């Protein structure tokens, strides 16, 4: 098997495994105690904190270890908002943040606060000026990920941090995807990360609060981790996390160049090997090992199963792989095709021959899925004067798009096709199909059931 889902969880680094096993013998005692076993545990914890702080570029006393990256985000946002509650209860986030940030934003809104989502362009990039425009007198905090977890786009953190600094607003950076590759530049105030993203053990997060940033930890007071992460520290896992972070940083420059070449190869060759593919994410400002693309007329879940049978573990942002049956919020915010979405995220050490084998396997996997969907239940097609109506109610994407593609040639140039669909993914996929196929997307209108999408044949 070739594991190509490092953006979800990177394989445990050999250094992490060694440090974890070694620390079980020395790091089991309470580091707050003064007897010998406690002092040994404290030495390990302090050394790990210093190593992690050096990698982040902060002071050791600014860094706390949490039980996960998600917990670090929730604690960081809640504490920063509480620390600036006299300023106001307005939060700024980008539209493509990790769900942990967006869930914190929802909680703030439910409690009476307000949230502004900053839009991104088609590559997933935010405009620093848009953050400036979103700032208000009552803005307590702004959040921005350093790099996107689904498409790999790297954000202009330093520029956004400077905009926020001039306004006196702290910026929290979710660095989960990028910290293993290098420190986050700019004058940010808070930072979060997760060890299992860089090859450390799961269950260890980092929360950094710069000196001078107002912060009021929420929940019951606990004396551990500066009161920011209650509960007994998992010292073996923390030691392994810090050791692996130092190890991957030592390898980062060389490995980043190698993985970037491999992902550039995938980005360039997939559109030549597979028809009707959209490669998404910024072509230059992106993580070294992440490449994402979407395939027309493909069910994402079926494609993942085909690739799994061929020996490849990848992930997807397609709606058909989600229990909610809605497209990825990241792809939706970017306005790109969501159906048949595949995210390839290469872990360190990925072999070139595995990438070549993936490129050899992908075309037949896509073809197999398309063949299975090539004969869907016939659409109910009727003509209303010079308009063709396609009834795709009750059918999940990509079926509505497939049925649109089959009938677009049946109307004259300038004629309209009306597609009825009750699948939320159609709102994203039909306009994306029009852009890829050179047809005109007119818009949508309400229908008795679902939504009616209007497409004008342009060529």
What confidence tens digit (pLDDT) does each residue in 80-128 have?
999 999 999 999 999 999 999 999 999 999 999 999 999 999 999 999 9
Can you give the pLDDT at residue 353? 96
Residue 245: per-residue pLDDT: 98
Residue 374, pLDDT > 80, answer: no
What is residue 1's predicted lDDT score, i.e. its pLDDT?
84
Residue 446's pLDDT band, with cuts at 50, 70 and 90, is confident
What does the pLDDT average to over 261-268?
96
User: pLDDT at residue 147 above 50?
Assistant: yes
Asked if the bond preceding 276 is cis, omega within 30° of 0, the reply is: no
Q: Collapse the DSSP code of 384 into the 3-class scheme (helix H, G, I; strand E, B; otherwise coil) and give the result.
A: strand
Listed range (134-138, 247-251, 433-437) with the worst mean pLDDT: 433-437
What is the Cα–Cα distance from 450 to 427, expressed in whole angstroms?
Answer: 11
Query: What is the pLDDT, as a whole number, of residue 319?
Result: 52
Q: What's the pLDDT band for 386 if we cut at 50, 70, 90?
A: low
Under the banding of pLDDT at 50, 70 and 90, the label for residue 187 is very high
DSSP tag of 219: S
Closest to 121 in 3D by CA, of 287, 315, 283: 283
For the chain, give the number of residues: 459
Q: Is 452 tagged catalytic?
A: no
Side-chain half-sphere exposure of 255, counting CA atoms within 13 A = 18
Contacts of 260 (CB under 8 A, 6+ apart): 288, 289
More confident residue, 56 or 322: 56
Rg of the chain over CA atoms, in angstroms? Answer: 24
Count Cβ atoms below 10 Å from residue 168 Cβ, excluding itself: 10
91 or 338, higher pLDDT = 91
> Encoding tokens for residue 451?
């939504």
Per-residue pLDDT at 325: 55
What is the torsion angle, in degrees rounded to the nearest 10, for the CA atoms of residue 438, residue 440, residue 446 and residue 452?
-50
8 A C-beta contact, residue 419 and residue 381: no
* Banded model confidence at residue 373, pLDDT cuts 50, 70, 90: confident
State residue 323's pLDDT score. Answer: 52
How would you list the strands of the sheet with 380-384, edge to edge? 380-384, 387-391, 416-421, 451-456, 440-446
Site of tokens 């007119």: 442
SS (H, E, C) 64-120: EEECCHHHHHHHHHHHHHHHCCCCCCEEEEECCCCHHHHHHHHHHHHCCCEEEEECC
Q: Which two tokens stand for residue 189?
A: 């105030």
Per-residue model confidence as pLDDT tens digits over 34-77: 999 999 999 999 999 999 999 999 999 999 999 999 999 999 99
Catalytic option among 320, 397, 434, 452: 320
Neighbours of 269 (CB within 10 A): 14
CB-CB neighbours of 250 under 10 Å: 11
Q: What is the pTM of this model?
A: 0.87
Q: What percent of the chain stands above pLDDT 70? A: 96
Given phi > 0 = left and psi -120 to 50 = alpha, else beta, which region is 348?
beta
Q: b/e map of 233-242 (b: 16 or more CB within 10 Å)?
A: bbbbbbbbbb
190-235 pLDDT tens trace: 999 999 999 999 999 999 999 999 999 998 878 788 888 888 899 9
Average pLDDT over residues 342-364: 96
Q: How many CA atoms lie within 13 A of 207 on its CB side?
A: 26
Looking only at the bridges linking them, the beta strands covering 290-295 and 277-280 are: antiparallel
Helices then strands, counting H and E runs in the chain, come out as 12, 17
Residue 264 clears pLDDT 60, i.e. is over it: yes
Predicted confidence at residue 383, as pLDDT, reads: 47
Above 70 in pLDDT, residue 320?
no
């Amino acid at each position: 098997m070739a594991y190509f889902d490092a953006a979800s969880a990177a394989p445990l680094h050999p250094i992490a495994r060694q440090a974890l096993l070694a620390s079980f013998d020395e790091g089991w005692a309470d580091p707050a105690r003064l007897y010998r076993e406690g002092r040994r545990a404290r030495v390990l914890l302090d050394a790990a904190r210093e190593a992690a702080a050096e990698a982040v570029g902060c002071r050791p006393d600014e860094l706390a270890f949490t039980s996960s990256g998600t917990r670090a985000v929730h604690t960081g946002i809640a504490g920063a908002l509480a620390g600036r509650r006299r300023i106001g209860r307005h939060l700024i986030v980008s539209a493509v943040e990790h769900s942990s940030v967006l869930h914190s934003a929802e909680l703030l809104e439910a409690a009476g606060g307000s949230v502004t989502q900053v839009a991104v362009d088609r590559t997933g990039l935010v405009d620093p000026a848009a953050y400036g425009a979103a700032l208000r007198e009552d803005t307590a905090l702004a959040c921005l990920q350093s790099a996107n977890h689904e498409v790999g786009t790297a954000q202009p953190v330093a520029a956004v941090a400077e905009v926020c600094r001039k306004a006196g607003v702290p910026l929290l950076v979710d660095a989960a995807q990028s910290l293993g590759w290098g420190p986050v530049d700019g004058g940010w105030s808070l930072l979060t990360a997760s060890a299992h993203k860089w090859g450390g053990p799961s269950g260890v997060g980092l929360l950094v609060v710069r000196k001078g940033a107002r912060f009021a930890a929420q929940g019951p007071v606990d004396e551990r981790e500066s009161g920011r992460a209650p509960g007994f520290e998992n010292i073996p896992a923390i030691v392994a996390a810090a050791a692996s972070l130092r190890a991957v940083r030592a390898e980062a420059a060389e490995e980043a160049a190698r993985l970037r070449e491999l992902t550039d190869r995938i980005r360039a060759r997939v559109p030549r090997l597979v028809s009707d593919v959209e490669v998404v994410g910024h072509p230059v400002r992106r993580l070294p090992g992440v490449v994402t693309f979407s395939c027309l007329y493909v069910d994402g879940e079926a494609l993942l199963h085909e690739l799994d049978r061929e020996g490849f573990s990848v992930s997807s942002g397609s709606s058909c792989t989600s229990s909610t049956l809605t497209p990825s919020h990241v792809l939706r915010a970017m306005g790109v095709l969501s159906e048949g979405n595949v995210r390839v995220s290469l872990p360190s050490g990925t072999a070139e021959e595995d990438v070549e084998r993936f490129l050899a396997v992908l075309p037949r996997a896509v073809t197999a899925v398309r063949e299975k969907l090539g004969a869907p239940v016939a659409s109910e097609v009727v003509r209303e004067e010079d308009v063709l109506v396609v009834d795709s109610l009750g059918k999940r994407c990509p079926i509505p798009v497939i049925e649109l593609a089959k009938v677009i040639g049946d109307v004259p140039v300038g004629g309209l096709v009306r597609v009825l669909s009750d699948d939320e993914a159609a709102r994203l996929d039909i306009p994306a199909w029009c852009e890829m196929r050179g047809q005109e997307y007119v818009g949508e209108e309400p229908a008795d059931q679902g939504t009616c999408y209007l497409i004008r044949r342009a060529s």
